[in-house]
């Protein structure tokens, strides 16, 4: 089996969950597909020669960089449009996290899908602070262990545990009705 076959197999195993991580985070199916595409292209182009065990943390690092770029672009666009008359004056005071939380509601397809507790959970996850969201999605959706999540987030395992724990606490508080 060639290295290209190995990488194809690796991407096939992570693509669906990577897409889900991106969709929950940005709240838009098309943007999520673009983000997954960018991450795959970057991994294959730049890191194909790296050892296979490094692909996973690299891929999710790239994926989250793309997700963060997306959030920054949207936050920036919102700031620019806020200068126009009626261009969301009330949004100026919103935090970055709350802008992210608004993401899913902007997508009609996402709104249609919001019909159960798992949808409510995804919506709540989208509203978490960036690092908590990252830790939660990589640990729960992607199924990475603490060490793998730490490698992908480029932080200590202790930080991952803290972010993950806080994310769970925040989600429990927000979703008490669904969680019990």
Site residues for another protein per CB under 8 A = 2-4, 7-8, 11-12, 15-17, 19-21, 29, 33, 36-37, 40-41, 43-45, 48-49, 118, 121-122, 139-141, 143, 158, 161-162, 164-165, 168-169, 171-172, 179-180
DSSP 31-48: HHHHHHHHHHHHHHHHHT
Closest to another protein by CB, 13 vs 77, is 13
Closest to another protein by CB, 3 vs 76, is 3
| Cβ 87 vs Cβ 81: under 8 Å | yes
Closest to another protein by CB, 45 vs 93, is 45
Nearest distance in Å: CB 35, another protein = 11
Nearest distance in Å: CB 102, another protein = 21
| Cβ 153 vs Cβ 133: under 8 Å | no
Closest to another protein by CB, 87 vs 143, is 143
Nearest distance in Å: CB 128, another protein = 13
Closest to another protein by CB, 41 vs 81, is 41
Q: Where are the beta strands (DSSP E) in 90-174?
A: none
Cα–Cα distance, 141 to 18 (Å, whole number): 9
19-24: list long-range contacts, CB under 8 Å, 24+ apart: 20/141, 21/63, 21/67, 21/137, 21/138, 21/141, 21/142, 22/63, 22/66, 22/67, 23/110, 24/122, 24/125, 24/126, 24/137, 24/141
Nearest distance in Å: CB 85, another protein = 39
Nearest distance in Å: CB 52, another protein = 13
């Amino acid at each position: 089996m060639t290295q290209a076959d190995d990488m194809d197999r690796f991407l096939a195993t992570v693509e669906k969950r990577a897409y889900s991580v991106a969709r929950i985070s940005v709240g838009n199916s098309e943007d999520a597909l673009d983000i997954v595409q960018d991450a795959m292209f970057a991994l294959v182009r730049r890191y194909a020669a790296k050892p296979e065990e490094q692909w996973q943390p690299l891929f999710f690092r790239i994926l989250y960089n793309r997700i963060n770029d997306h959030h920054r672009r949207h936050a920036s666009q919102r700031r620019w449009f806020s200068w126009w008359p009626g261009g969301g004056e009330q949004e100026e005071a919103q935090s970055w996290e709350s802008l992210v939380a608004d993401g899913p509601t902007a997508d009609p397809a996402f709104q249609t899908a919001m019909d159960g507790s798992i949808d409510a959970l995804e919506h709540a996850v989208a509203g978490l602070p960036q690092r908590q969201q990252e830790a939660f999605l990589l640990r729960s959706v992607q199924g990475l262990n603490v060490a793998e999540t730490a490698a992908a987030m480029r932080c200590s395992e202790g930080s991952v545990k803290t972010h993950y724990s806080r994310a769970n606490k925040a989600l429990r508080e927000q979703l008490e009705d669904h969680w019990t």
